Amino acid sequence: MDAITLLEQDKKKDLLRFVTAGSVDDGKSTLIGRLLYDSKGIYEDQLDAVKTASDRWGTVGGDIDLALVTDGLKAEREQGITIDVAYRYFTTPKRKFIIADSPGHEQYTRNMATGASTANLSIILIDAENGVLTQSKRHTFITSLLGIPHIVVAVNKMDLVDYSEDVYSKICEDYTEFAAKLEVADVTFIPVSALKGDNVVETSKNMPWYRGSTLLNHLESVHIASDRNLIDLRFPVQYVLRPDRTFRGYLGTVASGTIKPGEEVMVIPSGVKTKVKTVFSPDGELDEAFPPLAVGITTEDEVDISRGDMLVHVHNVPKVDRTIDAMVVWMSDEPLSLDKDYYIKQTTKAVSGRVSKLHYRVDVNTLHRSKETELNLNEIGRCVFTLSQPIAYDPYNRNRATGSFIIVDRITNNTVGAGMILDRVPADVSDVSISDSEPKSKHVTSQKSLITIEERIERMGAKPKTIWLTGLAGSGKTTIAYNLERKLFDAGQNSYVIDGENARLGFSKDLGFSAQERGENIRRAAEFARMLNEAGVITICSFLSPYESQRQLAREIIGTENYIEVYLSAPLDQCRKRAKPGIYDMASSGEIKNFTGVTAPYEQPENPDIVLPTHEFSVEMSVAKIIAFLETI
């Protein structure tokens, strides 16, 4: 082969990063040594050095101890253990590989999490003689926690069980049963003997019953291109480039999604919109950029964008919040402490934050959860963080780049933990008091005002009602509510809108979208409406309020005689077109959970006072209809 052919071949290669986990006795080092040795990834002189070292340190008597290929630091060599993640490189005609060799000793959790954070694939070694042990489970759990899309279970030391298919099948079954409890996508089993070389690079002659690929073959062919998120544009601005007065470019690495010239983008957190003028790369302008390319962006307008901001598509925005719920791997000797300030670095942004709540700790061996007040070295727990400023994020399982963060101690400046943000509204798990029908305290009694309802009605000239608008997202509730408010106000009436979205930003900020929390949201809104009515204000509530039982609750709180139910009956397909752009798509893709009409039910009102087919009526017509109704009562 000549150089040109070699480079042509090399040009087509992609890159697979994998992590190996296993203990000293599983033969992990031997397996890596075998991969490097048989695929010619070790240079001759390094091999000579290993041969020399084998005589001194080796444990396999006479033969080359392949495990020594991967032993790095002297201290480790002396103790016969590896204590830190080591990176190895080898290449085949098809792919380049980076191995994150993560040691299986005491520091396993911290090390494996580190190695796993950048991996596409995880090799879990199981000793055929011992079967699925605690540590196999631990490694699988960490693999799943760090969101590695592919797993290879290498059942090693098959030579010691006479290459028995039964032993192998039993291990596969046991493992599958355990893995079912975790979020793991793609699992492949391969029976190997690293020591003898069976099915590592060469197909084994000792296991004719196994018809699958060898380990190397699988590593060369596993499909990884689709592991990237090419949907949600997230471009964290890393550096603002201003070489002269005329040029202003925003440098960064595309975290996910794609970005093109001419597209409208929004700056998070400012919410300012602009258009992409050019996407430039080190080699000139591009018509599209995608992960993991490091590029630059120029914009049409001069907008204020700085490091730590994020560019996104207008209709596909990340969550922006000061409170995040995350799984945390703790990496420091000093335990995680509540009420201590840490630095949190996520994408290109660093904020300070503290753990406001530790929900539970997960025992990596049993997956058992326990209530704890601190998290120690190598422990994993679920925490709520409260940050000094909001960050833009996505759940880690949807976006590794925007869902991950590191925790840094403010005094030692050490990296003390790593976090993976969960796909949950923090309120789902914090102790929100969802009110029961009875007040919590038994010692409160109802207090009476000295002004009677009649006196108020006399002063106001009208009996204030609550107009309750219900309907799907996009049916027009908010628009009609505010237009009605204006109309009534202009007519000299005191009117006020309680809007569902505003409620979510205000008095129901702590609530999620489960049926129970929706109920609580409605209860609060109804209580406010009742008070406003009593204060003489015509109240317009625009709430999706999908459940009949909850609207019934609102009716009871406000009082049947004051409650006017208006059903906006535009059907789903019409609402989809009219709704806030992209919101139904996000619901369909599962990004928004419990979305009414898509993944949560809408129960049509049984007996509304007014029905407005808002897909046919104009806003004016709808408002006029409601006013006409008010005049009849």
Show contacts with other proteins in window 393-432 (CB under 8 A).
400-401, 404-406, 408, 413-415, 418
Q: What is the Cα Rg of the chain in Å?
A: 31
CA dist 253 and 535 (Å) reads: 55
Is there binding between residue 53 and other proteins (CB under 8 A)?
yes
Task: Please choose, from the candidates 348, 496, 523, the residue with its C-alpha nearest in 3D space to the C-alpha of residue 438.
Answer: 523
C-alpha distances (whole Å) from 149 to each of 121, 261, 398 are 6, 31, 12
Question: How near is the Cβ of 178 to other proteins at its closest, in Å?
Answer: 26
Q: Which residues are CB-neighbours of 183 under 8 A, at least 6 positions away?
A: 144, 397
Q: Which stretch binds other proteins (CB under 8 A): 113-121, 355-363, 425-433, 436-444?
A: 113-121
Instruction: Rule CB under 8 A: choose which of 55, 59, 75, 461 binds other proteins.
Output: 75
Instruction: Rule CB under 8 A: choose which of 170, 322, 345, 593 binds other proteins.
Output: 345
Q: Which stretch binds other proteins (CB under 8 A): 88-96, 195-203, 432-440, 462-470?
A: 88-96
- SS3 category, 592: coil
68: which DSSP letter? G
Nearer to other proteins, 288 or 556 (CB): 288
Question: How near is the Cβ of 60 to other proteins at its closest, in Å?
Answer: 19
Nearer to other proteins, 258 or 475 (CB): 258
Tokens of 401: 């780049």
**Restricting to residues 257-286, which ones interact with other proteins according to CB under 8 A?**
258, 280, 282-283
**Restricting to residues 427-456, which ones interact with other proteins according to CB under 8 A?**
none
Tokens of 254: 């595309």
Question: How near is the Cβ of 270 to other proteins at its closest, in Å?
Answer: 19
Nearer to other proteins, 224 or 624 (CB): 224
Could you write out the DSSP letters of every residue in 15-45?
A: EEEEEEE--GGGTHHHHHHHHHHHTT-S-HH
Question: How near is the Cβ of 183 to other proteins at its closest, in Å?
Answer: 19
Q: Which stretch binds other proteins (CB under 8 A): 111-119, 158-166, 434-442, 494-502?
A: 111-119
The residue count for binding other proteins (CB under 8 A) is: 81
Instruction: Rule CB under 8 A: choose which of 169, 348, 397, 478 binds other proteins.
Output: 348
Instruction: Rule CB under 8 A: choose which of 24, 92, 96, 594 binds other proteins.
Output: 96
Task: Please choose, from the candidates 350, 351, 346, 348, the residue with its C-alpha nearest in 3D space to the C-alpha of residue 326.
Answer: 346
Question: How near is the Cβ of 156 to other proteins at its closest, in Å?
Answer: 22
Is there binding between residue 333 and other proteins (CB under 8 A)?
no
CA dist 143 and 122 (Å) reads: 7
Instruction: Rule CB under 8 A: choose which of 61, 74, 446, 505 binds other proteins.
Output: 74
Question: How near is the Cβ of 57 to other proteins at its closest, in Å?
Answer: 10
Is there binding between residue 44 and other proteins (CB under 8 A)?
yes
Question: How near is the Cβ of 407 to other proteins at its closest, in Å?
Answer: 10
Residue 318 burial by Cβ neighbours in a 10 Å radius (0-12, 13-18, 19+): buried
Cβ pair 157, 193 in contact under 8 A: yes
Task: Please choose, from the candidates 549, 519, 569, 545, the residue with its C-alpha nearest in 3D space to the C-alpha of residue 466.
Answer: 545
**Restricting to residues 287-316, which ones interact with other proteins according to CB under 8 A?**
288, 290, 292-294, 307
Is there binding between residue 241 and other proteins (CB under 8 A)?
yes
**Restricting to residues 466-505, which ones interact with other proteins according to CB under 8 A?**
none
For 515, phi then psi, to 5°, come to -55, -40
Angle of helix 165-179 versus helix 134-145 axis, rounded to 10: 50
Identity of residue 632 = T
Is there binding between residue 346 and other proteins (CB under 8 A)?
yes
Task: Please choose, from the candidates 259, 267, 268, the residue with its C-alpha nearest in 3D space to the C-alpha of residue 297.
Answer: 259
Could you write out the DSSP letters of every residue in 137-195?
A: HHHHHHHHHTT-SEEEEEEE-GGGGTT-HHHHHHHHHHHHHHHTTS---EEEEEE-BTT
Cβ pair 103, 22 in contact under 8 A: no
Question: How near is the Cβ of 603 to other proteins at its closest, in Å?
Answer: 43
Half-sphere CA count of 162, side-chain side, radius 13 A:
2
Q: Which stretch binds other proteins (CB under 8 A): 6-14, 376-384, 443-451, 459-467?
A: 6-14
Tell me what percent of the chain is helix, strand and coil, each rounded to the nearest 5. Answer: 30, 30, 40
Question: How near is the Cβ of 381 to other proteins at its closest, in Å?
Answer: 17
C-alpha distances (whole Å) from 618 to each of 52, 448, 571, 612, 630 are 87, 43, 15, 10, 19
Q: Quick one: residue 597, left, alpha or beta (phi over 0 = left, psi -120 to 50 = alpha)?
A: left
Question: How near is the Cβ of 330 to other proteins at its closest, in Å?
Answer: 11
Tokens of 333: 């000797």
Question: How near is the Cβ of 32 to other proteins at its closest, in Å?
Answer: 11
Instruction: Rule CB under 8 A: choose which of 25, 89, 129, 273 binds other proteins.
Output: 89
**Restricting to residues 361-390, which ones interact with other proteins according to CB under 8 A?**
none
Is there binding between residue 84 and other proteins (CB under 8 A)?
yes
Question: How near is the Cβ of 47 to other proteins at its closest, in Å?
Answer: 9
Nearer to other proteins, 400 or 555 (CB): 400
- SS3 category, 186: strand
Instruction: Rule CB under 8 A: choose which of 7, 180, 444, 505 binds other proteins.
Output: 7
Instruction: Rule CB under 8 A: choose which of 155, 259, 312, 331 binds other proteins.
Output: 331
CA dist 449 and 446 (Å) reads: 10
Q: Which stretch binds other proteins (CB under 8 A): 237-245, 459-467, 549-557, 558-566?
A: 237-245
